[in-house]
Amino acid sequence: MDLITTEFGFSSTADEVAKGIDLTGKRVIVTGAASGIGIETARSLARTGAEVTMAVRNVEVGHKVADDITATTGNDRIYVASLDLTDLDSVHSFVTKWTGPLHILVNNAGVMAIPELQRSPQGWEMQFVTNHLGHFALALGLHDALAADGAARIVVVASSGHLFSPVVFDDIQYNFRTYDPRSAYGQSKTADILFAVGATARWAKDGITANALNPGAIATNLQRHNGGKLATPPELQKTPQQGAATSVLLATSPLLEGIGGHYFENCNEAMTVTSRPSNYEGVAAYALDLENANRLWDVSVDLLDQRAR
């Protein structure tokens, strides 16, 4: 099948992608919207006229960012809500407070390369919980609100980091293998992409589709565990506005109506690869595999069920 291509590319900004798109009357949630590319994703979506809820851990910072977004876009329907993805009570509380339809969910929040093995209170590895499982619980909880729209989209911010590890089903939680910050990030980001595949397979019939993306290399707080520095050469780095472009494309482009289960980078669908390329472009075949996606879905449901018991 031909890859999906657009008029946008590496240097496009989120504002350029959103130009001319009118989402007045639509409702959007962006997780992790008080920092980095989440801010610019929320800002460009605000420019389309949509109501934007910023789901953030630090509500005080969230309000400052929301005020700035209102000041720069003129959109005063920017809301801030508390969400800690590692705390399933917090996810539950966010979901139960949500009323009415939801048109676009942007799973943007994330952590990268936590140096030492950290576990949630349930004993789950922290990058897997933050990047995948918390978002999985969130999307499950918001399913009916998304289905109420009839043509809702989930945008999953993954990473080229997924090329460093598949989901290792026999030891997702690092109970046996030696913890490695990069492979744990890779596993969690592969899980993000598999979620987009699994959600589309299950929920397209409800009018919900999900796509995943790599935003590129952007200097943000994400690099806090890597000495605050990006390893990528300057000419291959993006600004936060450029980093938000592919997220905004997947959230808004008419080209993607009803399309899900794909992985994009630089605003175009990425090629599938069967080994890690030296330029870290492309999507690993294991991350788009429906069998893996179904297996991860079942494992994730089991983990949430275990915790509920």
Ligand X SMILES: NC(=O)c1ccc[n+]([C@@H]2O[C@H](COP(=O)([O-])OP(=O)(O)OC[C@H]3O[C@@H](n4cnc5c(N)ncnc54)[C@H](OP(=O)(O)O)[C@@H]3O)[C@@H](O)[C@H]2O)c1
Smaller CB separation from ligand X, 164 or 174? 164
Q: What is the C-alpha to C-alpha distance for residues 83 and 94, in angstroms, rounded to an integer?
A: 6
Smaller CB separation from ligand X, 126 or 147? 126
Interface with ligand X (CB under 6 A), residue from 88, 139, 184, 222: 222
Q: How far is the CB of 274 from ligand X (least distance, A)?
A: 21
Query: Is 217 a residue that touches ligand X (CB under 6 A)?
Result: yes
Query: Is 58 a residue that touches ligand X (CB under 6 A)?
Result: yes
In the complex, which residue's CB is closest to ligand X? 36
Query: Is 62 a residue that touches ligand X (CB under 6 A)?
Result: no
Q: Identify the residue whose tokens are 């600004």.
A: 239
Q: What is the 3-state secondary structure (H, E, C) of 160-201?
A: HHHHHCCCCHHHCCCCCCCCCHHHHHHHHHHHHHHHHHHHHH
- H or E element at residue 42: helix 36-47
Query: Is 138 a residue that touches ligand X (CB under 6 A)?
Result: no
Query: Is 109 a residue that touches ligand X (CB under 6 A)?
Result: yes
Catalytic residues: 185
Rounded to the nearest 5°, which phi and psi values hold at 114?
-55, 125
Query: Is 44 a residue that touches ligand X (CB under 6 A)?
Result: no
Interface with ligand X (CB under 6 A), residue from 13, 21, 30, 32: 32
Q: Give the per-residue contact string, 283-302, with ligand X (x = CB under 6 A; - = no).
A: --------------------
Q: Which stretch binds ligand X (CB under 6 A): 117-125, 135-143, 216-224, 249-257?
A: 216-224
Contacts of residue 1, defined as CB under 8 A and 6 or more positions apart, other chains included, come to: none
Q: How far is the CB of 24 from ligand X (least distance, A)?
A: 26
Nearest alpha-carbon partner for 162 in 195, 194, 181, 186: 186
Interface with ligand X (CB under 6 A), residue from 29, 80, 157, 283: 157
- H or E element at residue 263: strand 263-265
Tell me the CA distances in angstroms from 81 to 21, 57, 100, 139, 183, one per residue in order: 25, 8, 15, 16, 31
Q: Identify the residue whose tokens are 């918390």.
A: 134
Can you give the binding site for ligand X, defined by CB under 6 A?
31-32, 34-38, 57-58, 83-86, 108-112, 130, 157, 159, 214-215, 217-218, 220-222
